[in-house]
């Protein structure tokens, strides 16, 4: 076979493959062709001897899922959890034939091990910062579940620790490594819908329930350690594990849970570090003695360039109309500009005119960071020492937008924010400033990991 013939067959195969991917994903053919070309020469998979040793801290469903995803790229040599039942299940799920994964109940013992190169932090939100700071001090690279922090002040501390100790941190906002979301953001950044006027994010409504009675602490759970920096309270089943997201002591409701995904994409498309004005409206109030995070709400952010960023909750019984959510899903992001709109979520990409998507971006268009495998991007950056797609600064600034929304809801006040100083200003600053940090219950404060 001559060279020209091989080229023709290769090109034909390339186009066929691109067409099949475009049909399956709903992505425009020109974009798929670009992606296939970029992926033509993938980085080699490390050999068994080159695989890093990683420990999982926080062995719930998300943490264990992250570790199972990472196993194709590393050795999971240890797991840690304050709940013995979670710990035992993780050992069973993550141990290899002939090698049982080590188990710990105190994350500091994990960080003392010299043979561990990195950690996966799958703990509840109120534990993210202390563990990430401790890992940075110990020289461990970090894959941390989102949102990166419980408070804005914690974010500043995590950024300082990661940068000071020169470790790699990847925030688990995996939508950044999804082609559909990247394409939508590139379209917006390059003016495909004209001047961006408004971004609207729809998030699932939170849970609203209670009051909840206390109960005996389950066998195997260190309840005091699980509470950590949060106030000491009696054990209530609805506070723990999956339900922690509905309590401000441990999280920020769906504003920081799903918001850490969809609001991050809105923030990525806008391309500015933070809004300057925030107003929030609670549509329902928590039940006394029940979940404390506001479940239904609307928040309006205004950015320095005049873009309005709306965040709204959508209960299950409120389906969207055709022009907002063509596939009937509950949540996603709509970008509206002077020349049309683009809608994106995990299942679809649509536009007011499909030619907005079908027409290729010019060769000199602004391109965003390319990652199509969030976990692999983390391990690649462990080797290259380059910043991952959701590095510590990105994770902090993205979480900050979510925290600002939660603070506006909790205070009920219109707030002014200085993105450069990362602080509240204006007449309601005194009301909002206390929410930037929370008092940490001793001994579960920064001193626990040797940070000051």
- How do the domains of the chain map onto residue ranges? 3-38, 178-363+396-449
CB under 8 Å to 307, separation ≥6 — which residues?
Answer: 196, 197, 198, 199, 270
Give pLDDT, residue 48: 57
CA nearest neighbour of 219 among 82, 61, 59: 82
Q: How far apart are CA 136 and CA 160, in angstroms?
A: 10
pTM given for the model: 0.92
- Contact (CB, 8 A) for 162 and 136: yes
Mean pLDDT of 216-244: 97
Reduced DSSP (H G I as helix, E B as strand, rest coil) percent helix, strand, coil of the chain, to 5: 40, 15, 45
- Tell me: the pLDDT tens digits for 166-179? 999 999 999 999 99
- How high is the pLDDT of residue 15? 53
CA angle (177 as vertex; 362, 385 as ends), nearest 5:
100
What's residue 6's pLDDT? 37
The pLDDT assigned to 318 comes to 41
Beta-bridge mates of residue 103:
79
- Range 58-76 average pLDDT: 97
409: pLDDT strictly greater than 60 = yes
Give the 3-state secondary structure of residue 379: helix
The length of the chain in residues reads: 452
Is domain 178-363+396-449 in CATH 3.90.550.40, yes or no? no
Under DSSP, the state recorded for 250 is: T
Q: Is the pLDDT reported for residue 16 higher than 50?
A: yes
Q: Return d(Cα 268, Cα 253) in angstroms, integer.
A: 22
What is the predicted pLDDT for the residue at 40?
A: 62
∠ CA 242-169-82, nearest 5°, is: 35
Grade residue 66 by pLDDT with cuts at 50, 70 and 90. Answer: very high
pLDDT band at 43 (very low <50, low <70, confident <90, very high): low
The answer on pLDDT for 232 being more than 50 is yes
Check: CB of residue 120 under 8 Å from CB of residue 67: yes
Considering only 166-175, 329-338, 435-444, which range has the smallest mean pLDDT?
Answer: 329-338
CA distance 352 to 348: 13
Give the whole-number percent of the chain exceeding pLDDT 70: 89
pLDDT (average), residues 82-100: 96
């Amino acid at each position: 076979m001559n060279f020209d013939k091989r080229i023709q067959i290769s090109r034909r195969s390339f186009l066929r493959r691109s067409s099949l991917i475009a049909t399956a994903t709903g992505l425009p053919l020109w974009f798929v062709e670009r992606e296939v070309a970029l992926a033509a020469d993938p980085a080699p998979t490390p050999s068994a001897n080159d695989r890093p040793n990683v420990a999982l801290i926080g062995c719930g469903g998300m943490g264990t899922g992250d570790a199972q995803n990472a196993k194709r790229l590393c050795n999971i040599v240890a797991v840690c959890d304050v709940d013995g039942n979670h710990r035992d299940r993780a050992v069973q799920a993550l141990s290899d034939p002939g090698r049982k994964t080590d188990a710990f109940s105190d994350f500091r013992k994990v960080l003392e091990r010299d043979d561990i190169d990195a950690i996966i932090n799958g703990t509840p939100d109120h534990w993210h910062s202390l563990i990430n700071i401790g890992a940075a001090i110990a020289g461990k690279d970090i894959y941390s579940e989102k949102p990166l922090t419980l408070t804005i002040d914690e974010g500043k501390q995590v950024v300082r620790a990661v940068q000071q100790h020169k470790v790699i941190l990847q925030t688990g906002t995996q939508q950044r490594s999804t082609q559909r979301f990247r394409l939508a953001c590139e379209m917006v950044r390059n003016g495909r819908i004209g001047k961006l006027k408004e971004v609207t994010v729809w998030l699932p409504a939170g849970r609203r329930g209670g009051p909840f009675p206390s109960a005996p602490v389950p066998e195997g759970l260190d309840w005091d350690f699980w509470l950590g920096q949060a106030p000491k309270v009696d054990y209530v089943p609805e506070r723990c594990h999956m339900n922690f997201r509905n309590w401000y002591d441990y999280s920020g409701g769906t504003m920081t849970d799903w918001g850490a995904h969809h609001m991050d994409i809105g923030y990525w498309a806008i391309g500015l570090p933070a809004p300057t004005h925030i107003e929030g409206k609670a549509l329902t109030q928590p039940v006394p003695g029940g979940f404390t995070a506001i479940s239904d709400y609307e928040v309006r952010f205004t950015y320095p360039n005049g873009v309005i960023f709306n965040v709204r909750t959508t209960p299950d019984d409120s389906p969207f109309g055709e022009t907002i959510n063509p596939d009937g899903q509950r949540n996603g992001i709509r970008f509206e500009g002077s020349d049309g709109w683009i809608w994106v979520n995990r299942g679809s990409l649509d536009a007011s005119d499909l030619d907005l998507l079908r027409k290729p971006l010019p060769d000199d268009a602004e391109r965003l960071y390319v990652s199509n495998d969030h976990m692999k991007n983390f391990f690649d950056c462990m080797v290259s020492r380059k910043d991952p797609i959701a590095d510590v600064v990105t994770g902090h600034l993205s979480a900050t937008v979510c925290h600002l929304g939660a603070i506006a809801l909790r205070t009920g006040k219109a707030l002014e924010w200085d993105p450069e100083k990362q602080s509240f200003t204006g007449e309601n600053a005194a009301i909002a400033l206390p929410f930037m940090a929370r008092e940490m219950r001793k001994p579960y404060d920064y001193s626990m990991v040797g940070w000051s």
